[in-house]
């Protein structure tokens, strides 16, 4: 039988569902990516003669067709070739083509699908987005369904993204030594919302991550993606590997032999030096807090909304990220919100103490924006606050707060952030800030020597 034209099917299906695809988190996968992922199937680990293949959120069955086209030996041996698709229009379109006689497509919500069957290969491109009826989120899911999701999935945490639930469900549906191959956003590697998912994966088998960058789904979506290849095997639990895919070649970046679900970082020469030299992390020296968000400020009875500059009332302007520049706080009214100096601690108790403030978003070319708030003003919005702690474990840390500000704004930190986090997120989380290396005075001299020698080479 001749190859099926995946591209033609995708184009026809896109026209059929283009008005609703975004509400379901649907993004069709480029054909080259389908081929690449299909080639990642490790045939040596498959059962002989009773192979079962599943494509969740299958759309027009791009991956099942890809296996049929490129791994015909596997496809022909498979006794089950199933796709699950929530959208009825897509399912009807698939069957009308008359080309899927050996593929069983089931019309249902994969996250609510009940089956006793277990699979050797689960492969695909799950939807991604935070489920909600709010216009701010991309996947339209009612509150009752979302409540059921939360009850069903042990990895659900915070503002969870549905692709995390798809991963959990798929791992549970794998046979022993079964393979899960998904293309997903890279955010599960580092964000707090996925800490339960990372722990879940670490306990159940080998996790291999292939970083594909942010260009796979452009122009429809600007998102950094990875291929997750997971092998379900208790004997390979706590093992993880991170690869980079560039120029058609795979390069091993990091290997974890005792991975317990901690965030997964990239690495290069500079980041290795920084991590080897620095004896402390930011979280060893500082407690990190975040400013109150706009709704909290707006609803606080002590806060006054006022245009202009009030005089003689003992009011302070509430600052936000626009007041924070690299190394400097601009003490000028921008937000239009004010509060009496004596009442500012009603917002946060630490607003009466000078301390380091850090912008939540990256500043040009992935630089942090850190400064020392020596006037101890109140803040709102996307600003972190670093509160110095003195403990037995950090007694040897001898940089002053102002020296720490200089280090956070330095070329070393800028390059380190680009190295270990790449372009996965648009801003740093508290967890990412906590693990930033901090040097003592002596270690900082060693880092500066490394930079000077690097530039001389």
Residues 254 and 320 in one domain: no
What is the total count of domains within the chain?
Answer: 2
Residues 6+ apart with CB under 8 A from 362: 368, 417, 426, 427, 428
Structural domain span for residue 368: 280-456
Same domain, 298 and 163: no
| Segments of the chain with pLDDT less than 70 | 1-27, 48, 96-100, 134-138, 218-221, 311-312, 361-366, 456-457
Task: Tell me whether residue 275 is in a domain.
Answer: no
Q: Which pLDDT belongs to residue 9?
A: 60
Structure tokens at 233: 């095997």
**Residue 397 annotated as catalytic:** no
For residues 248 and 298, membership in a common domain is answered with no
- Which pLDDT score is estimated for 250? 93
DSSP 101-141: TT-EEEES-GGG------EEEEEE----S-EESSTTSSEE-
Residue 24's pLDDT is 46
Q: Choose the final residue of a domain: 212, 234, 264.
A: 264
Q: Are 19 and 90 members of one domain?
A: yes
The pLDDT score that the predictor gives to residue 335 is: 94
Would residue 213 count as lying in a domain? yes
Catalytic residue among 149, 211, 217, 286: 217
Exactly one of 126, 131, 185, 292 is catalytic; which is it? 126
In a domain, 207, yes or no: yes
Q: Please give the full DSSP string across 372-415, using - where no structure is assigned.
A: EETT---B-SSEEEEEE---GGGTT----HHHHHHHHTSHHHHH
From residue 182, give the alpha-carbon distance in Å to each of 123, 327, 329, 346.
6, 42, 44, 47
Within this chain, do residues 330 and 243 fall inside the same structural domain, yes or no? no
Regarding whether 291 and 202 lie in a shared domain, the answer is no
Residue-wise DSSP of 221-267: ----EEEEEEEE-GGGTTEEEEEEEETTEEEEEEEESS--S------
Of 232, 264, 296, the domain-final residue? 264
Q: Is residue 274 part of a domain?
A: no
Query: 211, 238, 264 — which closes off a domain?
Result: 264
- Whether the CB-CB separation of 368 and 413 falls below 8 Å is answered with yes
User: Does 449 fall in a domain?
Assistant: yes
Residues 184 and 303 in one domain: no
Q: Is 311 helix (H, G, I), strand (E, B) or coil?
A: coil
CA distance 425 to 435: 16
Catalytic residue among 28, 36, 100, 128: 128
3-state secondary structure 130-172: CEECCCCCCEECCHHHHHHHHHHCCCCCCCCCHHHHHHHHHHH
Q: Supply 73's token pair.
A: 């030996």
Instruction: Please write the tens of the pLDDT for every residue from 11-52.
Output: 665 566 555 444 444 567 888 899 999 999 998 888 767 899
Q: List 132's β-bridge partners, or say none.
A: 140
In a domain, 23, yes or no: yes
Is 12 a member of any domain? yes
Give the C-alpha distances (Å, rounded to integers) separating 348 from 3, 290, 292, 305, 436.
Answer: 64, 9, 8, 18, 25
- Residue 447 sits in a domain whose CATH number is 3.90.220.10
What CATH number is attached to the domain comprising 200? 3.40.50.150
End-to-end Cα separation, the chain, in angstroms? 59
Residues 181 and 292 in one domain: no
**One of 69, 125, 238, 409 is an active-site residue; which one?**
125
Look up 126 and say whether it is catalytic: yes
Nearest to 238 by CA among 264, 210, 275: 264
Q: Does residue 214 share a domain with residue 347?
A: no
384 is catalytic: no
The answer to whether position 174 is within a domain reads yes
**pTM, 2 dp:** 0.88
Q: What is the pLDDT of residue 20?
A: 45
- Considering the domain architecture, whether residues 357 and 323 belong to the same structural domain is answered as yes
Are 59 and 191 within one domain? yes
How far are the Cα atoms of 147, 173, 238, 256 from residue 235, in angstroms, in the given order?
34, 18, 9, 15
The Cα–Cα gap between 83 and 68 comes to 14
Q: Do 298 and 215 belong together in one domain?
A: no
């Amino acid at each position: 039988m001749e190859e099926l034209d995946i591209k033609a099917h995708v184009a026809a299906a896109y026209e059929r569902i283009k008005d609703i695809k975004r509400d379901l988190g649907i993004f069709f996968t480029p054909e080259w990516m389908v081929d690449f992922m299909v080639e990642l199937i490790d045939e040596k680990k498959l059962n002989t003669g009773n192979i079962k293949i599943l494509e969740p959120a299958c759309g027009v069955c791009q991956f099942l067709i890809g296996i049929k086209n490129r791994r015909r030996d596997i496809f022909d041996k498979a006794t089950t070739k199933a796709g699950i698709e929530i959208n009825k229009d897509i399912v009807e379109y698939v069957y009308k083509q008359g080309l899927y006689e050996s593929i069983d497509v089931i019309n249902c919500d994969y996250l609510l699908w009940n089956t006793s069957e277990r699979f050797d290969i689960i492969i695909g491109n799950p939807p991604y987005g935070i489920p909600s009826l709010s216009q701010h989120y991309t996947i339209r899911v009612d509150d009752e369904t979302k409540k059921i999701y939360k009850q069903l999935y042990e990895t659900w945490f915070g503002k969870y993204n549905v692709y995390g639930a798809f991963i959990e469900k798929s791992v549970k549906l794998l046979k022993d030594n079964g393979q899960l191959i998904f293309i997903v956003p890279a955010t599960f590697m580092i964000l707090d919302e996925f800490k339960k998912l990372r722990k879940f994966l670490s306990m159940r088998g080998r996790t291999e991550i292939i970083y594909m960058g942010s260009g796979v789904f452009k122009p429809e979506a600007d998102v950094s993606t990875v291929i997750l290849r997971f092998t379900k095997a208790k004997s390979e639990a706590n093992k993880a590997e991170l690869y980079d895919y560039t120029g058609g070649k795979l390069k091993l970046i990091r290997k974890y032999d005792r991975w317990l679900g901690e965030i997964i970082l990239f690495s290069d020469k500079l980041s290795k030096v920084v991590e080897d030299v620095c004896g402390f992390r930011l979280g060893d020296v500082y407690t990190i807090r975040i400013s109150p968000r706009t709704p909290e400020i707006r609803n606080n009875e002590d806060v006054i909304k006022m245009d202009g500059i009030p005089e003689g009332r003992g009011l302070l302007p509430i600052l936000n990220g626009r007041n924070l520049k690299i190394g400097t706080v601009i003490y000028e009214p921008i937000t239009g919100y004010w509060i009496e100096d004596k009442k500012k601690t009603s917002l946060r108790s630490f607003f009466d103490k000078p301390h380091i403030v850090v912008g939540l978003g990256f500043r040009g070319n992935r630089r942090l924006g850190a400064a020392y708030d020596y006037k101890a003003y109140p803040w709102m919005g996307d600003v972190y606050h670093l509160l110095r702690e003195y403990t037995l474990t950090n007694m040897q840390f001898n940089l002053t707060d102002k020296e720490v500000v200089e280090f956070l704004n330095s070329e070393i930190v800028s390059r380190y952030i680009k190295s270990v986090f790449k372009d996965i997120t648009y801003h740093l989380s508290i967890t990412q800030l906590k693990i930033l290396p901090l040097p003592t005075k002596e270690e900082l001299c060693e880092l500066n020597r490394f930079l000077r020698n690097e530039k001389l080479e």
